[in-house]
């Protein structure tokens, strides 16, 4: 799952939100350097990713990107999933997605002092370009594909990803729906379990 999903699956908990969003920027034992509630967010993020990785719908979705992007196919699926989540009318309207994105940036901004430096630099662009909201548009997804390619060591072009996305759009939406149906209760249960620890 990508940033919008991880933000949504933090269930409006400020510190868990931060941990959930910074997790990919925290390596190994560094996770224990954060306040307990932030650390729980890191744990939640990793549980969500592990659940998504082994889900049958994710494995099916990856097949459409696998030939062109191999090990990076999962990263493209993460971005694609945020697109379908942003358009999921059971979760967001156009207005409520905008409001959710602004609230998320505000809650994160309050905790900038705790952020890893690499995430803080990226967060500037996330907020200023409103990534969470832009996932709802095709253009926003194309830009995310481009950003993914820029950060990847062995990728040079995202145009094929755009073609694959458009060609398999309906199939990818079906895969997202199947994953999301199972992800929401799993993430809620994991979140509540972590709060009780």
Residues 20-58 have pLDDT tens digits of 999 999 998 999 999 999 999 999 999 999 999 999 999
* The model's pTM: 0.95
- Both structure tokens of 29: 């034992």
Residues 158-181, mean pLDDT to the nearest whole number: 97
| pLDDT of 153 higher than 80 | no
pLDDT for 157 equals 86
Q: Which residue shows structure tokens 């999933």?
A: 81
104 has pLDDT over 90: yes
Written as one string, the DSSP assignment of 71-104 is: GGHHHHHHHHHHHHHHT-TTT--HHHHHHHHHHH
Per-residue pLDDT band for 155 (boundaries 50, 70, 90) equals: confident
């Amino acid at each position: 799952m990508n940033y919008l999903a991880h933000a949504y699956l933090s269930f409006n908990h400020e510190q868990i939100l931060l941990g959930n969003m910074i997790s990919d920027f925290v390596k190994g034992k560094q996770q224990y350097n954060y306040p307990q509630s932030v650390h729980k967010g890191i744990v939640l993020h990793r549980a969500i990713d592990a659940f998504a990785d082994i889900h049958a719908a994710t494995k099916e979705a990856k097949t459409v990107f696998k030939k062109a992007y191999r090990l990076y196919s999962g990263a493209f699926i993460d971005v694609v999933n945020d697109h379908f989540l942003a358009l999921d009318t059971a979760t967001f309207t156009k207005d409520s997605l905008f409001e959710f994105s602004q609230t998320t940036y505000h809650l994160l901004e309050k905790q900038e002092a705790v952020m890893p430096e690499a995430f803080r630099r990226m967060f500037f662009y996330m907020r200023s370009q409103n990534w969470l909201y832009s996932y709802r548009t095709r253009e926003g997804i194309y830009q995310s594909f481009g950003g993914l390619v820029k950060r990847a060591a062995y990728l040079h072009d995202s145009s094929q990803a755009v073609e694959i996305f458009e060609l398999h759009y309906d199939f990818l939406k079906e895969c997202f729906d199947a994953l999301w149906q199972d992800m929401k209760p799993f993430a809620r249960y994991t979140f509540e379990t972590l709060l009780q620890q």
